[in-house]
Amino acid sequence: MFDAWMAEAWAQEPEDANAMTLATAGSDGLPSARIVLLKGADQRGFVFYTNKQSRKAEDLAANTRAALLFHWKPLGRQVRIEGRVEHVSDDEADAYYATRPRISRLGAWASDQSRPLSERAVLERRLAEFEAIYPGEDIPRPPHWSGFRVVPARFEFWQNMPYRLHDRTVFTRSPGGTWVVGKLFP
């Protein structure tokens, strides 16, 4: 069902269909949400990439559970996903990293993501330093940059309906691994 909805979303929102809210909570229990981009989805889960020293990565190190939310307003749809989070393999991270534009790969080296920045010139100077270190296209993936996979335990597919009588379908993974399907009141 997710694949079908995502295909329809790409047809309606070709620039932002893969934008999703990632919600995490650190060891202090405080929630934090931000938009990230879905970079892979299959039977194993939903993948995004980031600096492993970012706040989201620190939250996930302390609490390996997260929630994702896709909202496609033109379609009147939302998909909520909840589950545990695991690291992608180095091979997966390397393969995705190699597809990024050169400046984005250099930016992964230059940015101390989520850390205080005194002024933009510091980032620009660091970027120039890494451009000098890696003048060509061969830019290795930094050891502090990788991906995470949200392994779903629960999905909710929400469809807008007239008079706020929305349709909500929930899939919950049972302890045996099968999916139990149900409906929720709007």
Q: Which active-site residues does the annotation give?
A: 164
> How many Cα atoms sit within 13 Å of 94 on the Cβ side?
5
Cα 85 to Cα 69: distance, rounded to the nearest angstrom = 15
Residue linked to tokens 């559970």: 65
Q: 115: phi > 0 → left, psi -120 to 50 → alpha, else beta; which?
A: beta
Q: Give me 151's structure tokens.
A: 């392994």
